[in-house]
Amino acid sequence: MIVPFNHVLILAGLLFLMGIFCVVARRSLIMILLGVEVMLNAAAILLVGASLRWQNLDGQAIVLFVFAIAAAEVSVGLALIVWAYRRTGSINPENYNILK
């Protein structure tokens, strides 16, 4: 293997953490969605690396599914954000507090 599996693990882990950070610490709904995308891509990288490690093509097949689902999820999410922005005039999650 050209790239040692450990490096793949570390890369995927770092990317995942960055994704979490983006979800949690940014004051924008779109950034939350971006963060979720990053987390998904990190999982995809890990799956490809795992497929290479154990010489099984199933991992790469899963990644194709993940891309499809990610695309669908992002479009639905963005549509919701657009609607929510039209309702409340803001994409800052702090303003979504009627339940308080």
Partner 1 sequence: MITNWLSEPSLTAAILATLLPFAAFILIMVFTRKYPRLSAGLSIAAVGISLISALFLLVRHWHLQTPLEYTGRWLLSGDVAVPFGYLLDQTSLLMLSVVATISFLVQVYSLGYMAGDAGFSRYYACMSLFAWAMMSMTLSPTMLQLYIFWELVGLASYLLIGFWYEKFSATEAGKKAFVMTRFGDVAFFLGLLLVLVHLGNLNVLEMNGPQVATRMSSTYITIAALLIFGGIIGKSAQFPLLTWLPDAMEGPTPVSALLHSATMVAAGVYLFGRLFPFFSQSAAAMAIFLMIGTVSMLLASTMAMVSRDIKQVWAYSTISQLGFMIMGLAAGSYFAGMFHLTTHAGFKALLFLCAGVFIHSFESNDMFDIGRQGGRRLKIPMACTIIAAAALAGLPPLSGFFSKEVILGALAELNNPLWLAAGLLGAFLTAYYTFRLIFIILFPRQSGAESESGHGHDHGGYWVMGWPLIVLAAITVLLGFFQGALEAFFSGQQGIPVAGAGHHGWLPFAAIGLALGGVLLAWLEFGRQGADQVGFVEKIAPLNHLFAQRWYIDRFYRRFMDVFIYGVVSNLFTRNDKKVIDGGLDGLSQATVETGRLVSLLHRGMVQYRLLTIFVVLVFLGLYFFI
The closest alpha carbon to 62, from 77, 39, 40, 80, belongs to 40
- The least distance separating partner 1 from the CB of residue 95, rounded to whole angstroms, comes to 9
Residues 75-94 touching partner 1, rule: CB under 8 A, are 93-94
Which of 20, 52, 62, 91 touches partner 1 by CB under 8 A? 20
The rounded distance, in Å, linking the Cα atoms of 87 and 43 is 34
Counting contacts by CB under 8 A, is residue 57 touching partner 1?
no
Counting contacts by CB under 8 A, is residue 99 touching partner 1?
yes
Counting contacts by CB under 8 A, is residue 98 touching partner 1?
yes
Other beta carbons within 10 angstroms of residue 53's beta carbon come to 15
DSSP state of 94: G
